Structure 1
């Protein structure tokens, strides 16, 4: 896939989002509802739950998702919510329920297809319809083996349609046949508004200064494309010559890319972003994803994991270990930058940002936010009026 025309306009708004949008509790609640509950969120890959009863649970913005494989081999998604008192029906992030899902509160039992098997001490309850009182399903889509859920109806089309422009490029990674790397799911707390995470991640301008490992790997061969129809693309092609850092030099020496990759991707890391908060990393040795969720204005959870190729040999495993090491260091470096950008806004000397042409991806992401929240184009609405003000602006734009 050839890079798109990324010509930056001569005159564009370099100020970014208004400062109030990073601190407003009403803005954060609107974002939780419109962005995180009404947009697709990835949970796992089908290979994470290969056997009947295997499950992955995931929490975000007050919602609790449970993805489980049934006795019929079908993968389903439910709210992790007992129909009795609302307890979690699974307490762990992953595991196996064998033949039934048993609520740890009062012992209500559900079949693996979500239907109610039975309540404890049923004589104390009225007759319960096994379907109507079964676990509540969540809208789900499986794309290239990755399981996505959406808690409420939203504006996005199917994941397959959103990602369609990458179909040819991604076909060579054999995504449906990926398998999980053991114990690779991770989560970290970042003391910042979630948009600070996106703002750092949506540009490569900081790579030469802030990420010695990535810069040693790519050199100047890294470019970002702006957000287009809900997705973004960045490509870092490995530079030639000797590398300064041990992990980068060993990675380049050990890596023997799969024959199925074309010449442009045998020595490159490809990143594909999907609005509002997901990034996939496609490497010759592995595939990963990471995304973030707001908790409050000063606290964000970032979560991710890595998958390996089914035909991985010892050499590829060593290369994957090194790429994951480079990634872990990069993530920690980014966490510090994210928190610094958040801290800056509390300073009496801070009077806003000025974006470089190399940060045009940040601007186009902000534009995507403004389409859903045109209220971001003005001053902060009076307390208690943000949702109405935004609805009024959306209505005016629609006429």
Structure 2
């Protein structure tokens, strides 16, 4: 166990209760989460290789906002609201693509430069003079860290991504993620649960032995989670000595070349790095990926992610990456079912709340982060929906 792990321990006599069930089925709470959890914290938008040249862009939607990430003529990666300043149309509708020198609104033909400034409206004589900066696209705070492009919709409590993720930078730097390229497009999946149910499952490995036979075969005996501390967490595992009972695992171990580009302690490791509230960067010897979830409604969640590979990937790495993706695909399907079962129980009279194992302290510490942002979540009983925001503001000493 490395130095980072030895410094983190589960406190004695900690409260084993998680969030109360009402927090998973409240429309009013979801609106507070959108504003104070999702819009105010860093989110992974894409990787720099997704926008490789000037005019390349990526789009996605989150919590009612439309995001556009593009590379400008100077090579800088920028982010804007994908909203025309004229009538609010989407400027680009594809998930990813390339525009030649400018963004042209498909509604009325307004044109924007790649730095977001207004080049001009169509039929300019029908408008008074328009200042190119006053009518520029609304910019979004952006930071690039180890090749990943992060955005933040409004100022929030987190420091820069580099400062927040600094406990893991040295370890993750060995993978040279900034030099990787896409292994395919973005993937997405809509799940019929509250977003926190997705995060609850992902924040603990206690269920791996029972629910994930492939992961248990590959690395179950060594897997351990670290709790959320200052907005970040980490899960670490190395291959079991006799892994190979499952077909995908057996083939993966057979074809994967020795990862000599990595330090010895990482050559047989799968590692997951979490950034509050909902981002994960996962590494294997062959690839790096990110995944996250965004609430659509209180009972619908959008999962999103992408995988990146080494530019000079060999045949063995390619086959290993394919097999690792098969293992991940099965794992996600198993997790989706677990989240459905857990989420639907929250409305049952038989559900008396969580009672967490020491191995689930990652769940508790993530819930503690949520309570710190939204103290209304400390209440055992739900306040009235109409008064949710006022109750939370009073508890936060905001009014």
Output the TM-score relative to the length of structure 1: 0.96
Where do 5+ consecutive residues of structure 1 fail to align?
Answer: none
**1:360 shift after superposition:** 1.0
Where do 5+ consecutive residues of structure 2 fail to align?
Answer: none
Q: Which residue is 1:115 aligned to?
A: 117
- After superposition, give the CA deviation of every residue in 1:232-269 in whole Å (9 maximum; x if it has no partner): 00001101125101110111111114323112110010
Q: Which residue is 1:266 aligned to?
A: 267
Q: Which residue is 1:307 aligned to?
A: 308
Q: Which residue is 1:391 aligned to?
A: 393
- After superposition, give the CA deviation of every residue in 1:177-203 in whole Å (9 maximum; x if it has no partner): 0111123x1110111110101111100
2:188 is aligned with 1:193: no
Any idea what SS the aligned residue of 1:12 has?
A: coil
**1:15 shift after superposition:** 2.0
Q: Are the structure 2 counterparts of residues 62 and 242 from structure 1 closer, same or farther at C-alpha, using a change threshold of 3 Å?
A: closer
Note if contact 1:251-1:322 (Cα within 8 Å) is conserved in structure 2. yes
- Taking the aligned partners of 2:216 and 2:362, their CA distance within structure 1 comes to 19
Q: Which residue is 2:343 aligned to?
A: 342
Note if contact 2:118-2:135 (Cα within 8 Å) is conserved in structure 1. yes
Q: Which residue is 1:226 aligned to?
A: 227
- Taking the aligned partners of 1:98 and 1:337, their CA distance within structure 2 comes to 45
**1:94 shift after superposition:** 0.5
Any idea what SS the aligned residue of 2:204 has?
A: coil
- Taking the aligned partners of 1:242 and 1:329, their CA distance within structure 2 comes to 17
- Taking the aligned partners of 2:107 and 2:173, their CA distance within structure 1 comes to 45
**1:384 shift after superposition:** 2.0
Note if contact 1:217-1:248 (Cα within 8 Å) is conserved in structure 2. yes
- Taking the aligned partners of 2:109 and 2:378, their CA distance within structure 1 comes to 51
Q: Which residue is 2:158 aligned to?
A: 156
Any idea what SS the aligned residue of 1:384 has?
A: helix
Note if contact 2:61-2:67 (Cα within 8 Å) is conserved in structure 1. yes
Q: Which residue is 2:356 aligned to?
A: 355
**1:152 shift after superposition:** 1.0
Q: Which residue is 2:167 aligned to?
A: 165
Higher relative contact order structure (alpha carbons within 8 Å, sequence separation ≥ 6): 2
- After superposition, give the CA deviation of every residue in 1:31-69 in whole Å (9 maximum; x if it has no partner): 000111111111111111111111000110001110111
- Taking the aligned partners of 2:193 and 2:146, their CA distance within structure 1 comes to 32
Which of 81, 89, 92 in structure 2 is aligned with 1:90?
Answer: 92
Any idea what SS the aligned residue of 2:386 has?
A: coil
Q: Which residue is 1:50 aligned to?
A: 52
- Taking the aligned partners of 1:134 and 1:242, their CA distance within structure 2 comes to 56
Aligned alpha-carbon RMSD (Å):
1.4
Q: Which residue is 1:246 aligned to?
A: 247
- Taking the aligned partners of 2:161 and 2:8, their CA distance within structure 1 comes to 24
2:373 is aligned with 1:369: no
**1:5 shift after superposition:** 4.1
**1:347 shift after superposition:** 2.9
Deviates more, 1:160-169 or 1:351-360: 351-360
Note if contact 1:4-1:225 (Cα within 8 Å) is conserved in structure 2. no
Would you say how many aligned residue pairs link Structure 1 and Structure 2?
A: 396
Note if contact 2:217-2:243 (Cα within 8 Å) is conserved in structure 1. no
> What are the within-5 Å matches in structure 2 for residues 172-191 of structure 1?
172-183=174-185, 185-191=186-192
Note if contact 1:282-1:288 (Cα within 8 Å) is conserved in structure 2. yes
Note if contact 2:288-2:309 (Cα within 8 Å) is conserved in structure 1. yes
- Taking the aligned partners of 1:332 and 1:181, their CA distance within structure 2 comes to 21
Note if contact 1:257-1:285 (Cα within 8 Å) is conserved in structure 2. no
- After superposition, give the CA deviation of every residue in 1:70-104 in whole Å (9 maximum; x if it has no partner): 12212111110000001110011100011211111
> What are the within-5 Å matches in structure 2 for residues 276-355 of structure 1?
276-355=277-356
Q: Are the structure 2 counterparts of residues 217 and 99 from structure 1 closer, same or farther at C-alpha, using a change threshold of 3 Å?
A: same
Q: Which residue is 2:384 aligned to?
A: 382
- Taking the aligned partners of 1:191 and 1:326, their CA distance within structure 2 comes to 23
2:144 is aligned with 1:142: yes
- Taking the aligned partners of 2:382 and 2:350, their CA distance within structure 1 comes to 21
Deviation beyond 3 Å, 4+ runs, structure 1: 4-7
**1:314 shift after superposition:** 1.1
